[in-house]
Structure 1
Amino acid sequence: MAAVADSAPSGLPPLSREDQTLLLFAGLMEGGQEDEETVSDLGKLTKLLTEDIELAKASEPSITKIIDGDCVDTIVCYLDMRQPDIVRAHATLCTSAYLKAAGEDGNRKLADFFYDRVRRGTYDDYIVAFCVAATIFPIVPDLTSELFLSGGFLASLGPLMRRKWKSRKVETACLDMLNAACMNAHCREGVQKYCVEWLEEIVDQDPEDAVQAMRASEPDVNVREGSISMRRHSLQVQNLAAVVLAKLRVQPVQTPSDGSAPSRIQPATTSIEDLSKMFTKMLLENPEHSTQSSIEGLAYASLQSKVKEDLSRNKTFLEGLVKTLETATPKSPLTYGALSILCNLTQHQPVQSEEEKRMNQLKAYANAAGKLPTDPLSDHDHVNERCKRVFAAGVTPVLVTHSKNGSIASLTLIISIIYSLSMTPSLRGQLAQQGAVRLLIAAWTALPEAEPRTRRVAAQALARILISTNPSLVFGGTRPIPQSAAIRPLASIILPDPSAETRDLLPTFETLMALTNLASTDDDTRSSIVRTAWTDIEDQLLSSNSRVTTAAVELICNIVQNSAEAFALFGDGKQQAQNRLRVLVALADAEDIATRSAAGGALASLTGHEAVVRAIAAQERGAGLVLGLCGEDNEDLRHRGAFVVYNMVAAEGEAGRLAREKLRAAGGVAVLTECAKKSRRSEVVEITVQALKGLLEQT
């Protein structure tokens, strides 16, 4: 029947959309179909409903008018947990398309279905109702929340779950529904109010004790694993209940806004640490039955610092988690959950500016706290040690593999984990060896521009790794990555994030240092950096932060080792080049010694060009600033200064003559004489003497 849903017998007019819809429903209602046929029919119906949304905008009659309650019942019953996963997946898409096309009428029919099934009260009806609610929560959260919080529904779940005879499928479906509901704040409040006591009863029950007690009281009862006649909750059910409790613990219900106490006396509760231990035990001892729920529970529990610390110290758990991630299907909930745990374990506290620290201190005093609450387990040292343990578990190669086929959500977590690991300098070289550089470059390239935050994190992690590693080792090997591939990601974070509330210059500083390292290699890389990022690099010379200025000058010092780039940027005689040179000479007199050193190194290379010598000599204070380096107490600075002076006095023609004249007028003979006396290293003395001889040469 499904085969003719979108066509008519030869010679007859094509079937209308309404007829196609009715034929598809007839096939779905008939039953007895193979799963492939059901999936095909659901897919065709989804296509019709999706098209209907657009056609309705053009005033075409909607096919939803012929979809009655029985039809809705047919679709959503395929959401039953007892259906194959592929059928449930297609039924989910079909339900979503129907609700979008039908609007309020669809919501009403779905509500009627839910209330009717709950009212019937059989195990089968409960299973279907709960499965439907769990599935549609993310599709129509407002409607599902209304159904979930309708009068008496939550309160009725306790007696159902406490029944003498257990239905494992009913319990599982119910807990799946609660699990989905806990993503909504109002629903979470309802679960906390009506369900937390029996959830804890499920978690705390010892299954073996329950069976032994049952056999002692009723020895003739035939108790079979999986039987509805069992009075105990299964390990899977216990684990699901623990996941729901974990969500309640991690996202506690807020105190009423009027300041009044909660209306009910709160019972003793299972702590988040206890739940974490339960998840860990189940994951290690019963992975074939509890992996998904245990991973989900730990993804929430590991938001707490005590849990993070305990999990990171459990070597067996970490290795098992990495193994689980290694075998998990890409883009699956299991993959996302495992990555979430690793992300939580390695995440550092955000760095606060001094202004942010002061504001938080003021808020604390305003709240009569007196001081900022601190969590010692979240400080840098503790997180640093957790990162080392996670890395030692062999996580990097697994992250590299998953990054190739993962969703954007998974890739975001992977980048965050690598970013956190890269904050530990001792790990950077090993991260590079294990493929993190290739991962980050590929991720930055693959991520859409609509994900600017994640791209910046990837670029900053890349910068950190490249600061501490030898580029020839990172970009060599049997499958080399071109160095130029790293330049665009690095260049993208030279300027501070325009969308950030506070101006963070750390990414700027780190990327300048990484580019400096790359620029130490070859002329092609230096030219690529200039083509890609020169304007932004130049802007950092005048940064308000001295460390950023230093990093920018050090990068320029390496760039101008390329003679062609040095001349093009500083020696072509144009006004822009002269302005750049004037800034660089001025920085040779900067307050920061590292900046003076970098500027001196850059000038030592640039003064090999006659045009640069002429331009410095033409500056009013040029000769004096250069000689200032020769008078430094630091011998490395004197060495740089003497080299610059030697280049200037040794220049040919008019440029050399003008330079010698200006340097003598600025007291160069006395400065160089004193420089030679103060210096102890032979290479410094030698270049100073050569510069002095050149300066004394008559012109």
Structure 2
Amino acid sequence: MSDVDQALDALLKNLKGAAPPSLLPGEFSSLVVAFLPSQPHATRSKAFITLSAICQAIRHSVTPQKGDDSDPGTDNLVRVFTPVVTSRVSDVEEHEVLAGVSFLSALFQVDWQSASVIFKEDGVAGSLMDALDMFPSSADIRLAVAHLLAQASGHKACRSAIPPECISWLEKQSRQTSDPALRAGAAIALVKVSRGTQQDLAEAAGSSVEGDTRKDEDLVQLMKGMVIGEHNESSLSDAIEGLAYMSVDPATKETLATDDKFLKQLFSLAPRRPSSSAHHKQDAHLTLLYGITMIIANICAYRPRLSEEQKQMDKLRKMANSKNPKENPLGDDDRVRERCLKLVKNGALDALTAIVRATDSRGVRLAVGRALLYFVEDKENRGKVLQSGGAKALMVIIRDHLSSPSAKGQPAALEPAELEPIQALAKLAITASPFHVFGPNEGALYDAIRPLSNLLSDPSSNSLQRFEAMMALTNLASQGPEVASRIAVAEGLMNKLELLLLDENHLVQRAATELLCNLVAGCESMFDRYSESSSKMQVLVALADVDDLHTRLAASGALATLTASPTACRSLLELENERHRVMPVLAQLVDPSLATSEDGDDTVADQAQNDPGLVHRGVVCIRNFLLGLENESDQRQLSNEAEKIGLVRALVDMLKRNGNGANVAVLRPTAEALKVFLDCGIQISG
């Protein structure tokens, strides 16, 4: 073990104490030189861990005062690290300058707030140009300066502090061809400066600001060429990181998506097997994998789905601000779908699933989840996602989050990025059979219940996510009583589901009713929960009377199931005696012309033939309701009501229409209901 490694180990050991860290000059020196590019990868990885621990310890050693807008943690870090950086970057020894520049680059990655303040200190940026003049033949100095400028360019506070001569130097280095690593480092710095400056101007103007299109195209072509032709890992990582920044632009998305050679080479960089080296898996490829994933996600990103209220607000905002340009047609859904198909053709899905296997980085995996969500937006891609192992990859991403300590503690709400892989899984589970999505192992199907129920009940989920969660759970619940029972007892699910039964959005209400229908049919506890509650039965009767056909089918299906229980029939009788709406609602399932309003006035009947599914459910409900009442006087009361509203005549007509036995499923319950009417003294002619 080297002296530097031993010093880092000692530092880490000392940091475990409760007291704030107090670092000696020798310890500081060991930490700074640990970031030199000449150090082994393992040493630099340990240095990052040590620096992170020091920054956290110093931040936690101070408590902000109430009403004080300052950041005492940052102030303390700046006080500690400024002398370390400024003394070295202004030194006349190459080794010291390189150590100072490398250390500040590392600090940006660990604690950008303090690094930004130090970078803006008088003389720091100027010292970088002095170092380039003093050591013109040092490749290490040039590359370290390019990387530091790239780190600084990612932060608004630092961009204005970068001297124009630094930008000119970066442009020159991005055009040279003798040093590919330097060329890539300079290019990514220029990308961040270009993109960041455009964003800064847009924020100041309150609108979108177009950048230098020609300059952007040159940078894109430069970095594309490096991805296709470069084999140095550091240069590749820089080029891919730069393209990840650039690919948020619609024109760049099109440029990248139409270059098959580039796409094939990009996706080939995703390792098809997990690395045997833990350090390599966790660090060396992390930037590369994240960059590949973000390029895919950016190219395939759809515009945000707005609610009706959000659409109106957006429209008003555009009317009020005449400077807002029209939306770029390259971002239209049709163009996004075309780009997705091109990426699928060139192997993007295999690359994404390989990335999930290759790294356990939470950030990378969540980015993969977002990319897969964009792909499954188009139903044509869902089968290909399943073939590439996309469902398994999504379950790995989801399981990784749900097993984390914060998830086990049931946080109040998940982050939007944490809901995206669950939504992607829900889309797959809606259109494909659970067997194709989760495989033959029932355990995998059971494991999907918790995240899907989280997507439904989480307070941060939107209407579309709740709708898709319910659709997926409905499909799962149809797989058998065990699955339905597990869904019914999922924490918070039933409370949320019963609220959504009354949702104003008819699609959400429909999905909630369909899920409830499957749960009532498949889960004994749900059957009892509803059959024993007049108020819950009343909700189902009301849902069987709404305008939406699918909602009526689901609600009447649940009633047909529940009325097999005498308890449920007694609950319906209580409702009928109280509101006199149960029999009219059931009657209009059989014959729409029997529909009446709440005050009893006749309504205009729909001239279209009634849906066969509603007819079947209606006659089963009526038959069950009559037979489920043991008291003859109750049966007689319902029979009289049926005759009064014309239901008896409707059933007779139906019996005639099905007299040839064409529909046995309807014929039998119809005949049984008519027999009860006869037994109760109702005259049936026909």
Following the alignment from structure 1 to structure 2, what is the Cα–Cα distance between the partners of residues 442 and 666? Answer: 58
Does 2:296 match 1:342? Answer: yes
How far off its partner does 1:629 sit? 0.7
How far off its partner does 1:363 sit? 2.4
Q: Which of residues 615, 618, 635 is equivalent to 1:657?
A: 635
How far off its partner does 1:240 sit? 1.1
After superposing the two structures, state which structure 1 stretch, 544-553 or 682-691, moved more: 682-691
Partner in structure 2 of residue 493 of structure 1 = 455
CA contact (8 A) 2:560 2:624 kept: yes
Partner in structure 2 of residue 262 of structure 1 = none
Does 2:278 match 1:297? Answer: no
- For 1:58-77, list aligned pairs within 5 A: 64=23, 67-68=24-25, 72-77=28-33
SS in 2 for 1:493: helix
TM-score (norm 1): 0.79
How far off its partner does 1:465 sit? 1.0
How far off its partner does 1:406 sit? 1.2
How far off its partner does 1:389 sit? 3.0
Following the alignment from structure 1 to structure 2, what is the Cα–Cα distance between the partners of residues 240 and 183? Answer: 13
- For 1:455-466, list aligned pairs within 5 A: 455-466=418-429
Partner in structure 1 of residue 543 of structure 2 = 587
After superposing the two structures, state which structure 1 stretch, 517-526 or 328-337, moved more: 328-337
Following the alignment from structure 2 to structure 1, what is the Cα–Cα distance between the partners of residues 373 and 157? Answer: 35
Does 2:482 match 1:520? Answer: no
Gaps of 5+ in 2: 62-72, 206-210, 593-608, 681-686
Q: Which of residues 84, 87, 92 is equivalent to 1:116?
A: 87
SS in 1 for 2:650: helix
Following the alignment from structure 1 to structure 2, what is the Cα–Cα distance between the partners of residues 256 and 594? Answer: 47
Distance 1:677 1:304, change over 3 A: farther
Q: What does the per-residue CA deviation read over 1:276-328, in whole Å, with 9 as the maximum and x for residues that have no partner?
A: 22111111111235211111111111121211222222223223222212267
How far off its partner does 1:568 sit? 0.9
Does 2:168 match 1:197? Answer: yes
Following the alignment from structure 1 to structure 2, what is the Cα–Cα distance between the partners of residues 106 and 300? Answer: 29
Does 2:385 match 1:385? Answer: no
Q: What does the per-residue CA deviation read over 1:531-555, in whole Å, with 9 as the maximum and x for residues that have no partner?
A: 2233322222211221111112222
Following the alignment from structure 2 to structure 1, what is the Cα–Cα distance between the partners of residues 268 and 204? Answer: 49
Partner in structure 2 of residue 472 of structure 1 = 435
- For 1:226-625, list aligned pairs within 5 A: 233-252=178-197, 254-255=200-201, 271-288=215-232, 290-326=235-271, 329-331=280-282, 332-369=286-323, 373-403=326-356, 405-447=359-401, 448=404, 449=407, 452-453=414-415, 454-477=417-440, 481-495=443-457, 497-499=458-460, 504-532=462-490, 533-562=493-522, 564-565=524-525, 567-571=527-531, 574=532, 577-618=533-574, 619=576, 620-625=580-585
Following the alignment from structure 2 to structure 1, what is the Cα–Cα distance between the partners of residues 651 and 203? Answer: 76
Following the alignment from structure 2 to structure 1, what is the Cα–Cα distance between the partners of residues 362 and 444? Answer: 25
Q: Which of residues 667, 670, 675 is equivalent to 1:686?
A: 667
SS in 1 for 2:428: helix
CA contact (8 A) 2:353 2:393 kept: yes
Following the alignment from structure 1 to structure 2, what is the Cα–Cα distance between the partners of residues 483 and 96? Answer: 40
How far off its partner does 1:424 sit? 1.6
How far off its partner does 1:246 sit? 0.9
CA contact (8 A) 1:467 1:514 kept: yes
SS in 2 for 1:190: coil
Following the alignment from structure 1 to structure 2, what is the Cα–Cα distance between the partners of residues 249 and 596? Answer: 56
After superposing the two structures, state which structure 1 stretch, 324-333 or 354-363, moved more: 324-333
CA contact (8 A) 2:86 2:124 kept: no
CA contact (8 A) 2:270 2:354 kept: no
Identity score, percent:
26
Distance 1:515 1:653, change over 3 A: same
Following the alignment from structure 1 to structure 2, what is the Cα–Cα distance between the partners of residues 269 and 689? Answer: 73
Aligned partner letter, 1:167? S
Following the alignment from structure 1 to structure 2, what is the Cα–Cα distance between the partners of residues 90 and 645? Answer: 74
Q: Which of residues 633, 647, 651 is equivalent to 1:672?
A: 651
Q: Which of residues 575, 587, 590 is equivalent to 1:630?
A: 590
How far off its partner does 1:473 sit? 3.1
Following the alignment from structure 2 to structure 1, what is the Cα–Cα distance between the partners of residues 644 and 353? Answer: 63
Aligned partner letter, 1:485? D
Distance 1:642 1:360, change over 3 A: same
CA contact (8 A) 2:428 2:437 kept: no
Following the alignment from structure 1 to structure 2, what is the Cα–Cα distance between the partners of residues 39 and 542? Answer: 64
Does 2:122 match 1:151? Answer: yes
Number of aligned residue pairs: give it: 613
How far off its partner does 1:55 sit? 2.8
Aligned partner letter, 1:582? Q
Aligned partner letter, 2:675? G
Following the alignment from structure 2 to structure 1, what is the Cα–Cα distance between the partners of residues 552 and 50? Answer: 68
How far off its partner does 1:627 sit? 0.4
How far off its partner does 1:469 sit? 0.7
How far off its partner does 1:164 sit? 10
Distance 1:162 1:300, change over 3 A: farther
How far off its partner does 1:182 sit? 1.5
CA contact (8 A) 1:515 1:555 kept: yes
Following the alignment from structure 2 to structure 1, what is the Cα–Cα distance between the partners of residues 435 and 342? Answer: 28
Following the alignment from structure 2 to structure 1, what is the Cα–Cα distance between the partners of residues 325 and 627? Answer: 62
Partner in structure 1 of residue 601 of structure 2 = none
Distance 1:579 1:372, change over 3 A: farther
Following the alignment from structure 1 to structure 2, what is the Cα–Cα distance between the partners of residues 117 and 413? Answer: 38
Following the alignment from structure 1 to structure 2, what is the Cα–Cα distance between the partners of residues 568 and 105? Answer: 63
CA contact (8 A) 1:673 1:692 kept: no
Partner in structure 2 of residue 646 of structure 1 = 623
SS in 1 for 2:271: helix
Distance 1:286 1:433, change over 3 A: closer
SS in 1 for 2:303: coil
SS in 2 for 1:191: coil
TM-score (norm 2): 0.80
Following the alignment from structure 2 to structure 1, what is the Cα–Cα distance between the partners of residues 5 and 193? Answer: 37
How far off its partner does 1:393 sit? 3.5
User: Which entry has the higher C-alpha Rg, 1 or 2?
Assistant: 1
Aligned partner letter, 1:693? L
After superposing the two structures, state which structure 1 stretch, 481-490 or 159-168, moved more: 159-168
SS in 2 for 1:203: helix
Distance 1:321 1:567, change over 3 A: same
Aligned partner letter, 1:344? N
Aligned partner letter, 1:471? P
Distance 1:240 1:640, change over 3 A: same
Following the alignment from structure 1 to structure 2, what is the Cα–Cα distance between the partners of residues 652 and 675? Answer: 24
Partner in structure 2 of residue 698 of structure 1 = 679
Partner in structure 2 of residue 215 of structure 1 = none
Q: What does the per-residue CA deviation read over 1:197-255, in whole Å, with 9 as the maximum and x for residues that have no partner?
A: 222222234x3xxxxxxxxxxxxxxxxxxxxxxxxx51221111110111122222534
CA contact (8 A) 1:347 1:383 kept: yes
> What's the C-alpha RMSD, in Å, of the aligned pairs?
3.4
Following the alignment from structure 1 to structure 2, what is the Cα–Cα distance between the partners of residues 305 and 175? Answer: 27
Following the alignment from structure 2 to structure 1, what is the Cα–Cα distance between the partners of residues 301 and 172? Answer: 33
Following the alignment from structure 1 to structure 2, what is the Cα–Cα distance between the partners of residues 268 and 372? Answer: 17
Does 2:115 match 1:134? Answer: no
Following the alignment from structure 1 to structure 2, what is the Cα–Cα distance between the partners of residues 544 and 521? Answer: 29
SS in 1 for 2:468: helix
After superposing the two structures, state which structure 1 stretch, 611-620 or 177-186, moved more: 611-620
Distance 1:374 1:665, change over 3 A: same
Distance 1:681 1:543, change over 3 A: farther
CA contact (8 A) 1:617 1:623 kept: no
